[in-house]
Structures are given as structure tokens and as C-alpha cells.
């Protein structure tokens, strides 16, 4: 069983408004990310919440996702949310797809390719890349979760990937969507659907 972990605890300071709640097509930014995982047959989706907690949890739960609140969201970095989400994973999950809540451009096919590569190879880390740049979602098998749990701020998920570079199976994808996220209102207006 493979679960998805969507990091959505940020305060959206650069955006100036809670970006998970912004309209995206017929849903919201976060709703679209959850839809992509559901469409790719990922049935266990966890959303880590923080800023705008109630509204974000409402969207997540309406989309069939479970939520876990990162109580340290305002004082900690992404690593803390990642650890909180992994602690809440289903005990039967053998791997987790790590996604960003502000990346509604990700595609169902991308998720499917990453899962297929993991199933075929059993690699501990499967990371998509586009033109030699790592993107999301990336997959981490359970055998490496303890290594992530041992990390402390100011270490980051990027540091984790660097430390375990020899275990990464890179998948080169012909889509920049794995690199695109919404940091500013300009990013949103340029790419919204």
C-alpha cells in the first residue's frame, strides 16, 4: 500500500492569502492536488495542516483525505510537517508519496509513473526530475522513515535527499509541472485554471 502525504501547513506569507483555499478549476488548489492522487488510485491521502487550519481541513476532508495538524507549523520548517505526516501514516503503508499542497499542476500520469517505478524496482527513494532538477511528488519507502525522524531543524527534506543520494532512483520526466508551485500571487495568476 502506498499513501500520499500532502504538505499544506504553511502560512502563505508571500502569497498574502491562504493559497490552499484559492480557486482552481472547479475546486481549490488543495482540492486539485488531492484529486490527482485519487485519480491515480492512491486511496490513503493525508494532508498536514497548520495555517488556516479549519478551512484547509474542511477542504481535505470533503475530498476524502485524512488530516494531521502540525502544532509547530508557525515556528518550524517543512521537515517538521513531513515528520508529523509520516507519524500519522497507515501502519500498512509501505511507502509515501511526498507532495506539496501548492502544486496543483501535478499530473495523474506523473504519480502513476513514480508508483510503477517503485513497484518494479523496490527502490527506497523514487524522485522525478525535469532537466536535472528534482521535483515533487517523490516517494520514500518505509525503510527510510526512521532516518527522516532522526533529523532536526535546521535540516531540510533537501538535506535528506542529499544524504541518501546513492539510494535515489531518478525518473526523468518531460514535464515541468513537477517543479511548479505557487509561491506568489503572480505565480497563481499565471498558472491558474
Q: Strand, coil or helix: what is 170?
A: strand
Regions of the chain short of the pLDDT cut 70 = 193
Instruction: Identify whether 193 is part of a domain.
Output: no
CA-CA distance, 193 to 182, in Å (whole number)?
13
Count of other CB atoms within 10 angstroms of residue 134: 15
pLDDT in tens, 105-152: 999 999 999 999 999 999 999 999 988 788 899 999 999 999 999 999
Q: What is the pLDDT of residue 165?
A: 93
DSSP state of 6: E
Within-domain flag for 191: no
Q: According to the model, what pLDDT value does residue 160 have?
A: 94
Domain boundaries, position 111: 2-186
Domain count, the chain: 1
128 lies in some domain: yes
CATH of the domain at 156: 3.90.550.10
- pLDDT score at 193: 61
Query: For residue 133, is it within any domain?
Result: yes
Has this prediction a pTM greater than 0.75? yes
Whether 179 is covered by a domain: the verdict is yes
In a domain, 49, yes or no: yes
Q: Is residue 52 a part of any domain in this protein?
A: yes
Amino acid at each position: 500500500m502506498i499513501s500520499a502525504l500532502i504538505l499544506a501547513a504553511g502560512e502563505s506569507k508571500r502569497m498574502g492569502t491562504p493559497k490552499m483555499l484559492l480557486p482552481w478549476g472547479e475546486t481549490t488548489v488543495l482540492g486539485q492536488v488531492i484529486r490527482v492522487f485519487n485519480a491515480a488510485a492512491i486511496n490513503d491521502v493525508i494532508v498536514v495542516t497548520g495555517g488556516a487550519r479549519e478551512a484547509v481541513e474542511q477542504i481535505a476532508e470533503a475530498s476524502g483525505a485524512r488530516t494531521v495538524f502540525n502544532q509547530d507549523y508557525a515556528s518550524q520548517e517543512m521537515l517538521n510537517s513531513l515528520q508529523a505526516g509520516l507519524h500519522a501514516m497507515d501502519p500498512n503503508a509501505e511507502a509515501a508519496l511526498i507532495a506539496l499542497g501548492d502544486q496543483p499542476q501535478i499530473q495523474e500520469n506523473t504519480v502513476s509513473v513514480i508508483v510503477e517505478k517503485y513497484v518494479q524496482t523496490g527502490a527506497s527513494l523514487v524522485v522525478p526530475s525535469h532537466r536535472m532538477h528534482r521535483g515533487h511528488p517523490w516517494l520514500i519507502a518505509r525503510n527510510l522513515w526512521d532516518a527522516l525522524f532522526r533529523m532536526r531543524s535546521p535540516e531540510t527534506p533537501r538535506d535528506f535527499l542529499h544524504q541518501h543520494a546513492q539510494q535515489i532512483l531518478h525518473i526523468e520526466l518531460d514535464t515541468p509541472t513537477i517543479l511548479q508551485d505557487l509561491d506568489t500571487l503572480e505565480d497563481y495568476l499565471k498558472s491558474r485554471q
